[in-house]
Structure formats: C-alpha cells, structure tokens
Chains A and B, each alone.
Chain A
C-alpha cells in the first residue's frame, strides 16, 4: 500500500466505493496478485525475490464501481491494472508500477442466452469453463476453447485477442464478439453498437480488443454461439517432411475444407511433447486434423483432406491418435507435465502468410538454437491456428539449466526473446498471434507498427490522458 496520508486516503476512498470486504492490502494477497502465469514473475518469486506488488487489490461489483475507481485513480494519478484469471503469459497483469489491481471476477453473471440468434451476453469476469457448462446444457457452445479455459475470464480472452483450439473453423475470440460494454479510463461507461457487421461508421469497438486493459476495462460482452456439433471426426497423420505437412495444411485451408482443427507438431515437438503426453514414439511431423458438424458433410470434408494429405506423402495413423489428442489436449498444461520451473522457457508465437511461414520458422529456429547453443537451448514448435492466407507458429524455447541468479536469468531470457522477435520481424511475422503483448513484448510494438506507432500513441493519450491504465503494457508507458 502507498505510504502516508495519500496512501490511506486512496485506500479509504476505494473502500467507500466497494466496501471493506472487497479491498485488501494484506501481504498474502499482495504476493499472490503480484504474479500472473508468465515465466518472468514466476521465476523471480521462485528465486525468492519479491515482485512489485499492487498497492491495493479491489474487487468491484459493478461497472459503476469501476467508474468510481477510475475517478479516484485519475485524481491521484495511480495505475489501474485489470485482473481476470491471471493466465496471461506475457506479464499483462503485472503491477510493474504498483497501483490498483482490479480483480473482475465478481462480474460473473450470465445476463442472457438468446437461443434464436445464438448469442450470449455475460459479464466479463465469468470464467470460461463455467459459461461453457451452462451453454452445453442447452446444446450450445462458445467455440473458443483455449487451454486456459478453466481459469481465464471472458474479458481476459477478448482483451488480448485470444485464440482457442478450434479457431481454424470458428475464429478467434474477437471474431465472436458482437458488442461490448467498456469503462473508459476517464470513467465513462460506454456501449458499442449491438452488431459488428454494419456500415455505420468505423469499427471503434475493435480498439478494445488487443488493448489488454490499456484503453479501458471490458465489463460486459455479447458473443456469438454455435450449436454443439453433431459429430467430431478426428484423426492423425504423420509427414516425414515438415514442408509437405505445411503444404497439406495450406491446400486444405485454401480449398476451404473447413477443418475445426489442424495441429501440426514439428519433428522436435513430435519427439518430445507428443511422446511425453500422448505416448506415441514417432519420427516426423505429427498432424491432428478434425472436421465437425453435420456427419455427412464432415465425412466428405475429411475424405477430401485425406486425398490432399496422401498426395503429399502423409501416413494416415487413423482415428485413435487424433481422438486421444483431443481428449488430452489440455493435459499438456498440467504440472508436472507442463514446462515448469526451474527451467527457462518462453512461447514466441507468431503468425504470417503461407509464402513466408517456412522461412520464418527456420530462421527463428536457427537464430535461437545457434545463438544460445552454449545453453543447450531446445526450440520446438507447432502450427495450430490456420487461416485462408496463413498460419500461426507456436514456438517454445527451453533451457533446462538456466542461470540461478534471477537477474542473470531474466537478462538471458530477454536476449533470447530479442533474437527470436528480430527473426520474426525480419521475416514478415507478427510479434504474436494470441498471447497478447503484455509487458514482455511491449518493447517491440514500435518496431511492429512502424509509421503507425505515433498514431497509436495519440489514441492512447486521447483515451487515457493520465496514462493510468495498465502502464508498461502494449508498448505504452506511464
């Protein structure tokens, strides 16, 4: 908590807004809320080093309370950091300058499920899995299945433009949004138009998707739903050559065969992660492909896709390895099966067009592996979110024996990221596809946006004149 008269005045004013049960300055809370799911703070704490905690943890119960908190934050020029599930991997929820941590999980009501239009309107602090259970009881689904579904909140999926396992058919989280309620940094509560597809002016609501709380706080959202599919056909394929596998994926997508998933593991991932989690000892590039919906249509799509795969020398491993992957797709993220400390790791996911993807993959892999060979770095990847024009590459670097000293470890981590991001940017990639920018990638935003970056800075200044919203993230300062 901030010291002195000012510190207690802020605390008292916040308490007046939310009530004393919903504000904390206890050291136990400050410690837990000082980290999120990203490697940096976890490593820091793991080495016994304290992190910069928030000054206050506040649990608002309504958009109006958030608006009132904004007034206090602007008055005292104190940062506000929205906190959903804390599952971000880039430090987006870290209170690097202290401030007011706004845990949004009290905003967890489902307001309406419209079974005619197939939409749901819900508050932004609702945990995805809980929403999904409710929808499933009605034969519906929100087809956004990220690995973080058990902890991520609805707002937390949208704010960093998240992607789920079946995005290849159903789109990213942002593609499912019809409208938003947002509390602006200056305290106004605004509502975007009821539907996204129109010609009534610019799509300003998209500003908030990807803003990661730097331009406002999403408090309510209406999203598109789908019926639970009648059938899901999954199978696995093995390619000797990764390039053939990428070409197969490209042809399947550009011919619009509409798979709900294509998960292509590079040979190193096949050898390590697929073996560890699924138990298959395979050499080559392991691809899981799935089609869903009407059984007849799905079967036809699958047959056409298999013809393409066959032309590119794929071995059909059958249904069982595909279905097993689907059943265990989140098991990769449960410790001790997941990557965990004291290892060093980072996920440098990127996206680019098909003409650049092969070169980008090899360039990044070579750059990281060659530069950090002394650290015995491993670089593995998979391609998992496919578009008509390109594909996402999800890479991970892993060092099993990193420096013990926290500062030295972070320095090395940052250098590896720098090497990887330089390779990505020089080869036409984006600095990420779905994990968000957070703190970790903040310094690359200027390079990523080039001549458009000053425009972004002007937007930020206009919307958040005091720079209180989640400072240090998405390239914006304090």
Chain B
C-alpha cells in the first residue's frame, strides 16, 4: 500500500537527478511525466493538495514502469514500486483508465491478456524448468522454439512451465497486486510440482518479475532451493566456454542490438547478447544511444493499455534512435518487444530479427 512507499516519494518529489534518463519524460518533454513529477503528484495527494481523480490517475498511469530511474539512482529509490502502490489505490477506487480494468479482467479469467485460453499444464518433471509466459506463447512462438534448440545444443532439456501465463508484472504494473501475486504463485506451485530447482527465463522482464518484483512488490518467497537464470547470459557463458558454436551469417546490413525492456533492472546482462551476436555476425554491431544502463523500453507492458499514445511514441523513439545510428537491422530477444518493433519498423524502413531465432539458425 501507499503508506509503505511514502519515504520513496518524499525523496523523489524534488529530486531531478534521473530526469535525463526517463523515457516518458524524453518523449513527452513534460515535467509532470517524469520521476520528479510522479513523486510530487503522489506527495501532493498525500498532503491533500490534489484529490485522486481521473486526471491524477492519468498522470500516475503514464509511467512506463521500466526501472530506468531507479537504475540510475545513487540511493536506489524504488520509485516504480511506489507508483505501482499508488496505482493500486487508484484502481481500488475505480478511477484507473478503463484499459487497466479490461486487461485485468482477462488476466483474472485467462491469466494472459491475449487469448481466451487458459495456460497449458507443465510439460513434465525435471530439475530445470523454462518459464514460457504469455508473450512467447501468443506473440512470437518462434522465440520459444529457437530458445529450446539452443538449450538442447548445450544439453539442457527444460520442463516448460507457465505456458501462456503472464509473469505477474502486467497486473502489478496496472495496480492489481493481488492478481500479480496469484499468477506468480501459480507458477511457483507448478515449479514445485514438477521438481524444478532452476527456473530459466527468456527475457530480463521475466527475470525481474520472478526476482526483485516478486519479493519487493508482492512479498512472495521462492520455493526453497530454486534459482533463477536468464537464458541469454547462460548461453553466452556456454559460448564463452566453447560449448556453443555458431556459423557466421552473411548478413551485411548494419545492425544494432536493442536492450529489451527491463534490461536496466538486470545490470549484469548487458554484455551477454552482444557477445553472442559478435560470435555470428560478420561485422561489429552499432550501439543505440539509449542502451545498456540507460536503455529505454519499448511501448509494451501496462502503458500500451493505459496510455497507448505514449507507448507508441516510445516505440517510435527507439526506432528513430536506430535510424539515426545508421542501423538497418534490429535484433532483440523479448517477444513482446519484437512484436512492438515489428508493428512500426516498416515506417522507418528497418528490419527486425529475434535474437534467439538468429542464434538458433546459425548453430554450428
């Protein structure tokens, strides 16, 4: 609840030190839609200077919940979680944007926002499990197929869990923490049932949801002995050790790697995808301006349902960034991010390629 995060908003309401990295502030250029603006808005509600109404809700629901502010904060202020808590209060009052309630209804009924279909059961028993989620299930199935091929190449045959289930981030970000906790708990129970002690995760977003977010926002514990491992860093480790080899592609177009949304929340992962790409691309990649610890998100997540205008501009901004850097091909692994980029890439005359698919296609 909001009472738990007041210290954060009190710290952030007049602090401008992450103003330069906020992606929403960057695309809107509006002071209200920056970490300082959100902190001050929440603090002002608390002081009775603003009442929670649709306008306040619109402001609070304009944050992308991407974590870039916190990743660049010297004192590690968890402002996105504070905004999440405020959204929970707004949602409870019935004042959240309608899109939030529509998606929440789907999440409650189907555990995903994309299809009227319940998640599939776990694929069996085993020590290593792979969380499939809803994005890889419904937005880009080739991501999963390619990831499984790559894992198989290093001798890993994971049990599939959470097939078609949201990782809990979307309801948490929309202001429905109970639903978020339920979804995560179902997956954790599934893991326990199938005897897994390692949970592989396809994206930094999944890694964040089952790691920091689960603990910090929802207060849920992992089953005893369960460890989390993101797939791309794991594959990079295997490639570095000589256990995973690739043929060089004949791709000649200048390319850039797009750090997926939430990358900034997993600060140890920046080199891994670049290392893998270097192993198969004939030329070094270009770097986007908004990369690594300042990587901006794409317009996925809660924002696309609550403020699609800003979400679209986040997509435009990333594609424009790539264009300015001279890239013609963009590579990333997050299926939701791929879907967003594919929607708009044509306008920028850019091609988009999944990292898992690219790697799997070049297995030696």
Taking Cβ atoms with an 8 Å cutoff, the residues of A that contact B are 24, 26-29, 31-33, 35, 37, 42, 45-46, 48, 50, 59, 83, 85-87, 103, 105-106, 108, 125, 127-130, 133-134, 148-151, 328, 330-331, 333-338, 340-341
Alpha-carbon separation in the docked complex, A184 to B21 (Å): 32
Majority DSSP secondary structure for residues of B touching A: loop
- Please pick, from B10, B17, B41, the residue contacting A32 in the complex, using a CB distance under 8 A: B41
Minimal beta-carbon separation of A154 from chain B (angstroms): 12
The stretch among B49-57, B161-169, B211-219, B330-338 that forms the contact with chain A is: B49-57
Are B17 and A333 within 8 A (Cβ)? Answer: yes
Alpha-carbon separation in the docked complex, A352 to B167 (Å): 61
B14-37: contact bitstring with A at CB < 8 Å (1 yes, 0 no)?
Answer: 111111110000000111100011
Minimal beta-carbon separation of A30 from chain B (angstroms): 9
Residues of B with C-beta under 8 A to A133: 289, 294
Alpha-carbon separation in the docked complex, A48 to B46 (Å): 9
Residues of B with C-beta under 8 A to A83: 31
Residues of A with C-beta under 8 A to B10: 335, 340
Residues of A with C-beta under 8 A to B30: 24, 29, 59, 103
Are A127 and B17 within 8 A (Cβ)? Answer: no
Residues of A with C-beta under 8 A to B18: 150
B277-299: contact bitstring with A at CB < 8 Å (1 yes, 0 no)?
Answer: 00000000000010000100000
Alpha-carbon separation in the docked complex, A259 to B247 (Å): 53
Residues of A with C-beta under 8 A to B289: 133-134
Residues of A with C-beta under 8 A to B21: 150
Are B50 and A108 within 8 A (Cβ)? Answer: no
Minimal beta-carbon separation of B73 from chain A (angstroms): 7
A336 to chain B: closest residue by CB: B11
Minimal beta-carbon separation of A375 from chain B (angstroms): 22
Are A334 and B32 within 8 A (Cβ)? Answer: no
Other 20 A-B pairs with CB < 8 A, given A150-B17, A330-B74, A336-B11: A26-B55, A27-B55, A28-B59, A29-B31, A31-B40, A32-B32, A32-B37, A42-B14, A45-B40, A48-B48, A59-B29, A85-B19, A103-B29, A108-B29, A130-B20, A133-B289, A150-B18, A335-B75, A336-B75, A340-B11
Alpha-carbon separation in the docked complex, A340 to B12 (Å): 11
Minimal beta-carbon separation of B8 from chain A (angstroms): 10
Return 27 A-B CB contacts under 8 Å, by A number: A28-B58, A29-B32, A31-B40, A32-B32, A33-B32, A35-B40, A37-B16, A45-B44, A45-B49, A59-B29, A59-B30, A85-B16, A86-B16, A106-B29, A128-B20, A129-B20, A150-B19, A150-B21, A151-B19, A328-B74, A330-B74, A333-B17, A334-B74, A335-B12, A335-B75, A336-B75, A337-B74
Given contacts A334-B73, A335-B15, contact A151 B20 (CB under 8 A): yes
Whether B47 sits at the interface, judged by CB under 8 Å, is: yes
Residues of B with C-beta under 8 A to A24: 30
Chain B interface extent, by class:
35 or more
Most buried by B among A125, A129, A151, A337: A151
Alpha-carbon separation in the docked complex, A33 to B56 (Å): 15
Are A32 and B75 within 8 A (Cβ)? Answer: no
- Please pick, from A134, A151, A337, A340, the residue contacting B16 in the complex, using a CB distance under 8 A: A151
- Please pick, from A32, A130, A333, A338, the residue contacting B31 in the complex, using a CB distance under 8 A: A32
Given contacts A334-B75, A335-B12, contact A31 B20 (CB under 8 A): no
Alpha-carbon separation in the docked complex, A29 to B119 (Å): 42
Minimal beta-carbon separation of A109 from chain B (angstroms): 11
